[in-house]
Amino acid sequence: MAASLDPHRYLESIIARDFHPASRQRGTGSPEPTPLVITISRDYGAGGGEIARRLSDCLGIPVHDQAILERVAMQAKIAACHFKPHDENVAAGVSSFVYSLLTGTGGHLESYRHYLYAVILDLARQDCILMGRGAHLILKNHRCFRLRTVGSRESCARRIALRFDIPSGEAERRVMEINDKRHKSILKLFGDDLSHASLNHAANFDLIFNTDHLSTEDWLPVILLALQQAGFNLNRNGTLP
């Protein structure tokens, strides 16, 4: 009777095989590789930040999160305080300025969108991981890998309750509120240009993973394999074995 297959080891063996030094050598006249750009959209409490850190450590590429808003602020010459999270509800990546877009004027919206596009496109010229801010939509016609991490309201609330040591009811309220504002922000920013800008539109992503039953650690080899199968060179700076 055949021995059972360990899926985790199987994925690791495929990744190790494809990253063997002999398979990574390039000729002296080879063109520069395409930047490895990963966008991560995430439900609040679903582990998107953790998977970004794991991918960054594994691939040796930077994560841009709050720095995106800081760059927009610099280009727009707006006081940085408008872009700093004002409490834990927005610490996961929704700025107070984006909140204001929900009721702001069209001029403010167009200005913010202009600078946001410029910042995302500039960052995407180099290897990087871009967190939220509709980067998956801004780069829809560029070569990148678009991830989305999701989880049930209950599972996400449990993580938030543990992280901030708050009651489960308060954690669930935060999850619902922040996810709702993220969805509205994306629709406000991109809904007039794209008929399917919603974060619930699966076709906008290359891989959607649910962290209810599999941890970010469990998902990491799957994501690496998907990146490799999509044709990205993952041996950035010689960081992989």
How does pLDDT run across 26-69, given as a tens digit for each residue?
A: 334 445 578 999 999 999 999 999 999 999 998 999 999 888 88
pLDDT at residue 188 greater than cutoff 80: yes
pTM of the model: 0.77
Half-sphere exposure (Cβ direction) of 130: Cα atoms closer than 13 Å = 29
In this prediction, residue 12 carries a pLDDT of 60
Question: Confidence band (pLDDT; 50, 70, 90) for 24?
Answer: very low
CA 234 to chain centre: 17
Tell me, what CATH number does 61's domain have? 3.40.50.300
pLDDT of 9 reads 62
Does any domain span residue 49? yes
119 occurs within a structural domain: no
Please check whether residue 211 lies inside any domain of the structure. yes
pLDDT for 29 equals: 44
| CB-side neighbour CA atoms (13 Å) of 231 | 5
Q: Residue 210: what pLDDT?
A: 94
CA distance 152 to 235: 34
* Within-domain flag for 154: yes
The total number of structural domains that make up the chain: 1
Name which residue leads in pLDDT, 144 or 29.
144
Residue-range definition of the domain harbouring residue 209: 34-65+126-233
Asked whether 120 and 146 are in contact (CB, 8 A), the reply is no
Distance of CA 203 to the CA centre of its chain: 16
DSSP letters of 14-72? Answer: HHHHHT-HHHH---TTPPPPPP-EEEEEE-TTSSHHHHHHHHHHHHT--EESHHHHHHH
Flag whether 54 is in a domain.
Answer: yes
> 153 lies in a domain?
yes
